[in-house]
């Protein structure tokens, strides 16, 4: 069995004095995609935030390459790309400026590379307009353009298909599957039924760990 890059051991999460799930064991190795499903309020976004180091578990632990996540902040930054449910971009900046700023936090990218990423998500011609003038779907594409840069191997994505049209959904499905087939890893939540899944795909229903 391939050693997991990301792993949880007896993980539990409490929010607002309510235990959402407990004793959750998850393993994610190179080439795999895990979709987190479950009813509203089951803790899907909370689990993604735990895996990204943005929250601390109520019990159990998250391991990165076999070591506790909270002891590997630098390693986590090199390995992880997180895109939350909100687009996470600055309205007053242009798509080009947003990507330049986001890249500068981790892996600086050339302007040519940034323009290529924006073109890949259908934003050619919108590189230098303020993001507040873009539609919700276009703003989502600005955030998703990060997936077309020199990105880390582990992608954690909360509802990445939000506001995308049919063509954008199909393109993103293909890109996520291709990332896994090249050895990358994806953990995501989505209400969308995937039609393109890599061989290493599986679904984890948080309802089974509900208290």
Predicted confidence (pLDDT) per residue in 137-157, tens digit: 999 999 999 999 988 999 999
pLDDT at 72: 87
By percentage, how much of the chain surpasses pLDDT 70? 99
pLDDT at 1: 59
Please report whether residue 53 resides in a domain: yes
What gap in Å lies between CA 131 and CA 78, rounded to an integer? 27
Q: Is residue 107 scored above 80 in pLDDT?
A: no
Please report whether residue 64 resides in a domain: yes
Banded pLDDT at 119 (limits 50, 70, 90): very high
**Domain boundaries, position 106:** 6-209
What are the DSSP E strand ranges found in the chain? 6-15, 18-28, 32-37, 59-64, 67-68, 80-83, 154-158, 185-189, 200-205
Q: Is residue 85 scored above 90 in pLDDT?
A: no
For position 194, which CATH number holds? 3.40.50.300
Domains in the chain, number: 1
pLDDT at 117: 96
What gap in Å lies between CA 15 and CA 126, rounded to an integer? 40
Banded pLDDT at 167 (limits 50, 70, 90): very high
Q: Residue-wise over 19-39: b if at least 16 C-beta within 10 A, else e?
A: ebbbebebbbebbbbbbbebe
With 0-12 CB in 10 A as exposed, 13-18 as middle and 19+ as buried, what is 125?
Answer: exposed
Nearest to 137 by CA among 187, 185, 184, 171: 171
Encode pLDDT of 66-75 as tens digits: 999 989 888 8
Torsions phi, psi for 74 (to 5 deg): -65, -45
The secondary structure of 13-67 as a DSSP string is: EEETTEEEEEEEEEEE-TTEEEEEE-STTSSHHHHHHHHTTSS--SEEEEEETTE
SS3 assignment, position 86: coil
14 has which bridge partners? Answer: 19
Encode pLDDT of 9-23 as tens digits: 999 999 888 999 999
Please report whether residue 1 resides in a domain: no
Please report whether residue 119 resides in a domain: yes
* Cβ contact 85:120 at 8 Å: no
Encode pLDDT of 35-54 as tens digits: 999 988 899 999 999 999 99
The mean pLDDT value for 166-177 works out to: 96
What mean pLDDT value characterizes the chain? 93
Tell whether pTM > 0.85.
yes
pLDDT at 35: 97
What gap in Å lies between CA 114 and CA 142, rounded to an integer? 10
Please report whether residue 170 resides in a domain: yes
């Amino acid at each position: 069995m391939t050693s997991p890059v990301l792993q949880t051991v007896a993980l539990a999460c409490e929010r607002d004095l309510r235990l959402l799930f407990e004793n959750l064991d998850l393993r994610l190795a190179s080439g795999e995609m895990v979709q987190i499903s479950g009813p509203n309020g089951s803790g899907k976004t909370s689990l993604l935030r735990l895996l990204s180091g943005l929250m601390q578990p109520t019990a159990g632990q998250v391991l990165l390459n076999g070591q506790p996540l909270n002891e590997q902040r630098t390693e986590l930054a090199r390995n992880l790309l997180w895109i939350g449910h909100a687009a996470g971009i600055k309205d007053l900046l242009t798509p080009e400026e947003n990507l330049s700023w986001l890249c500068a936090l981790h892996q600086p990218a050339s302007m040519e590379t940034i323009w290529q990423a924006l073109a890949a998500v259908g934003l050619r011609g919108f590189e230098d307009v303020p993001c507040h003038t873009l539609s919700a779907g276009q703003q989502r594409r600005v955030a998703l353009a990060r997936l077309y840069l020199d990105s880390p191997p582990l992608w954690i994505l909360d509802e990445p298909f939000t506001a995308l049209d049919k063509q954008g959904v199909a393109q993103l499905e293909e890109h996520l599957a291709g990332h896994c087939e090249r050895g990358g890893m994806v953990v995501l939540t989505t209400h969308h039924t995937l039609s393109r899944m890599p061989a290493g795909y599986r679904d984890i229903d948080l309802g089974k760990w509900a208290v």
